[in-house]
Chain A
């Protein structure tokens, strides 16, 4: 059974620092992995999607990597800003599902201190 874990559950860093968020999954048979951002009381905003054949994706200050063999993904945020404060979730799309059964981690709550 596919499980997705995000550690730590919460992280606080000063503004300007580079940081890495971690995501691990137990079954490497996936179609893709997606990183989302969620602001309090809001829906999820898609940040990056990495197909299983890819190793990384970049968008602005964000870089996501994927290592299927080890069941890991990281989200790298460069030069963090207070506006980056939010909960970051990763989700995997496992192969073999009869329909879309995207599995989410519990998220990392990120706080950037001014």
Chain B
């Protein structure tokens, strides 16, 4: 099946710094990518939907200025956590929709990025 990669897999940063996480679709072009956040023992919460060439659509309660999303190409979306604080520590997961596979429910997930803010 289609492959989605994320980089880095783990990152530790100091409070107040910014961190960029990359999500790439390796063997297909993804017009739509999704960013999720997962807290320990909790479900994945959708943060935003990213469409190539346009602004991301954020879910209610997600700060647009804190979680910057860029989807500049059909194979790459980035999530930047700006001025990170310890409460931003979490597991961030991206997924990408492959329009060529047919059906809007075909999302392929990356392995996730563990962010720890000290």
Q: Do A and B bind each other?
A: no
- B: which residues have CB within 8 A of A? none
A interface residues (Cβ-Cβ under 8 A, vs B):
none
